[in-house]
Amino acid sequence: MPFAASFMVPHPPLIVPGVGRGSEKQVAKTIASYEKVADEIAAIKPETIVITSPHSVMYGDYFHISPGNRAVGSFSGFGAPSVTFDEEYDEELVNAICEIADTELFPCGTLGEKQKELDHGTMVPLWFIREKYKGGKIVRIGLSGLHLVEHYRLGLIIAEAIEKLGRRAVFVASGDLSHKLQDYGPYGFAKEGPEYDDRIMDVMGSARFDELFDFSEDFCDKAAECGHRSFVIMAGIWDGKQVRAEVLSHEDVTGVGYGICTFCPEDGDDPERNFLEQYLTRAKQAETEKMAASDIYVRLARLSIERYVRERKRLSIPDDLYQLAKDGEDIDQLLNKKAGAFVSIHKYGSLRGCIGTILPTTGSIAQEIANNAIKAAVSDPRFDLVSEDELPFLEINVDVLGEPEDIESKEQLDVKRYGVIVSTSDGRRGLLLPDLEGVDTVDYQVAIAMQKGGISPDEEYYLQRFEVVRHT
């Protein structure tokens, strides 16, 4: 049994009368649409209401599901302490989701609870629902910093758990749209704001869920959206299913976008809507084609990673390098010159590991790359070890560093041409490579390097710059 329906809804507390105290009238269209959603849920009479919220517990590499048998909450933080909630959790469904996640080694569960009270991203939808329907337990799920593919995959796992238990359930994807629609909005205006709203309403209104993967992290950040990952989880519950979508409303009154859509299952499966499988096939093919066209620097890094992940063995330099080289490919510089090198690993466009050396630590560039490639795959403390299943989807870049040179000021930097090293007299040092996505200004480049080195803005520091030869 698939979900009976799902809903994309916003969560501004001001639309709750006890909070808005009259100001909610400015978003009357949103309120009217919310009431339609509540009416539809009341007609379905679900046993369980699954809610994903950007304001629940969130981790960078883990999806948190609220544990226990119940939770309470109120709008006291928004000046309405009399508006309260006491909700029962569907523990059986939570356990079923966790069991499937454990079997698939998927990073999801009930660990790390640090906010037991219900958040406003959960309570705003519940306020409208409970006005019309008092039944049904809830499941509250937070988002993560993982790639959109993993959010979509979570939707598949939730749907599998629903099928397993035979639950009559609805899914509520809570999330506002852009917060940068107007100069008077909470974060001002950015051109990406209205672009995001137009795009997301078009995609969701047509249930073209495969296009959700095409929203880059940089674009979403610049638009200051809130609910994209929530919407992607919801999309995952419909993978391979025929879906009827309806746009109820979209408003931009407060400088924040509020969009409401409904989604209902149609009869039968639709293999053309197996969007996860299609995305992974395209990603795998793209990396295969890219690797075939890559130079020996990148192929050396990839072979080092693959050999170590699969066999826990290191390459033999120069023997393996000679075998790896294509006819006419010059490997003299790799074997006879020394330099620092960084190896960056991306998966589905998101960083998966990056380790490097500013100055050479081995006898050749080839050995430097081979060593750092392995470290990027299994020793970057920000990420889990790369697994064999991930290898076909990894994008690998190699940066060979030139000699660092001292500079007097930031005016001598260029984010596209130069990397930067920020150092202090006590040996702390932070580095950032040049020409990185989302790093558009020198000030931002230096700020990130300082943060990486644990250097505060009020400390004395000195700068160095360096150029790189990037191999992709």
Closest CA to 215 of 144, 148, 285: 148
Q: 380 and 257 in one domain?
A: no
* Contact present, 460 and 425 (Cβ < 8 Å): yes
Q: What's the CA gap between 3 and 435, in Å, rounded?
A: 45
pLDDT at residue number 121? 98
Q: Under a CB-based contact definition with an 8 Å cutoff, are residues 108 and 101 in contact?
A: yes
pLDDT at 289 over 80: yes
Q: Which residues contact 62 (CB under 8 A, 6 or more apart)?
A: 107, 108, 109, 111, 112, 144
Buried/exposed 28-48: b ≥16 CB within 10 Å, e otherwise: eebbebbebbbebbbebebbb
Return the CATH number at 28: 3.40.830.10
Integer Cα distance of 343 and 287 in angstroms:
16
CATH of residue 447: 3.30.700.20
Q: Is the pLDDT of residue 354 over 70?
A: yes
The closest alpha carbon to 457, from 469, 449, 465, belongs to 449
Residues 177 and 144 in one domain: yes
Q: How far is CA 60 from the centre of its chain?
A: 8
Tally the C-alpha atoms within 13 A of residue 135's C-alpha that lie toward its C-beta: 10
Phi, psi of 359 (to 5 degrees): -120, 155
* The pLDDT value given to residue 268: 80
pLDDT for the residue 23: 84
- In this structure, which amino acid lies at residue 410? K
Query: Highest mean pLDDT: which of 174-178, 323-327, 345-349?
Result: 174-178
pLDDT > 70: percent of the chain? 100
Name the average pLDDT for the chain: 95
Which DSSP state fits 217? Answer: H
Q: Are residues 16 and 102 in the same domain?
A: yes
Mean pLDDT, range 338-363, rounded to an integer: 94
User: Are residues 249 and 297 located together in one domain of the fold?
Assistant: no
Read off the tokens for 269: 């499966």
pLDDT of residue 438: 83
Per-residue confidence band for 1, with pLDDT thresholds at 50, 70 and 90: low
Residue 22's pLDDT band, with cuts at 50, 70 and 90, is: confident
Task: Give the number of other CB atoms < 10 A from CB of residue 458.
Answer: 5
pTM: predicted TM-score of the whole model, two decimal places:
0.87
Q: Is the pLDDT reported for residue 231 higher than 70? A: yes
Residue 358's alpha-carbon distances to 44, 172, 401, in angstroms, are: 61, 48, 7
- Crossing angle between the packed helical segments 296-311 and 365-378, to the nearest 10 degrees: 50
b/e map 367-394, b = 16+ CB within 10 Å:
bbbbbbbbbbbbebeebeebeeebbebb
The residue out of 227, 247, 277 marking a domain boundary is: 277
What are 83-117's pLDDT values in tens digits?
999 999 999 999 999 999 999 999 999 999 988 99
Neighbour-count burial of 229, counting CB atoms closer than 10 A to its CB (0-12 exposed, 13-18 middle, 19+ buried): buried
Across 50-73, average pLDDT:
96
What's the confidence (pLDDT) of residue 2? 76
Domain shared by 291 and 229, yes or no: no
Q: Are residues 52 and 169 in the same domain?
A: yes
pLDDT digits (tens, 9 = 90+) for 291-346: 889 999 999 999 999 999 999 999 999 999 999 999 888 899 999 999 999 999 99
Q: How many domains does the chain have?
A: 2
Final residue before a domain boundary, out of 226, 250, 277 = 277
Same domain, 197 and 174: yes
Pull the structure tokens for residue 49: 């209401």
Indicate if the pLDDT at residue 470 is higher than 90. Answer: yes
User: 211 and 290: one domain?
Assistant: no
Residue 85 belongs to domain spanning: 5-277
The number of residues making up the chain comes to 472
Cβ atoms of residues 398 and 298 within 8 Å: yes
Over residues 202-227, mean pLDDT: 95
**Average pLDDT rounded to a whole number, residues 153-177:** 97
Same domain, 272 and 341: no
Query: Is 221 in the same domain as 271?
Result: yes
Query: Of all helices (H) and strands (E), which one includes residue 433?
Result: none
Are both 217 and 156 inside the same structural domain? yes
Last residue of a domain, one of 226, 245, 277: 277
What's the pLDDT tens digit per position in 233-251?
Answer: 999 999 999 999 999 999 9
pLDDT at 291: 87
- Same-domain check for residues 249 and 217: yes
Whole-number pLDDT of residue 338:
96
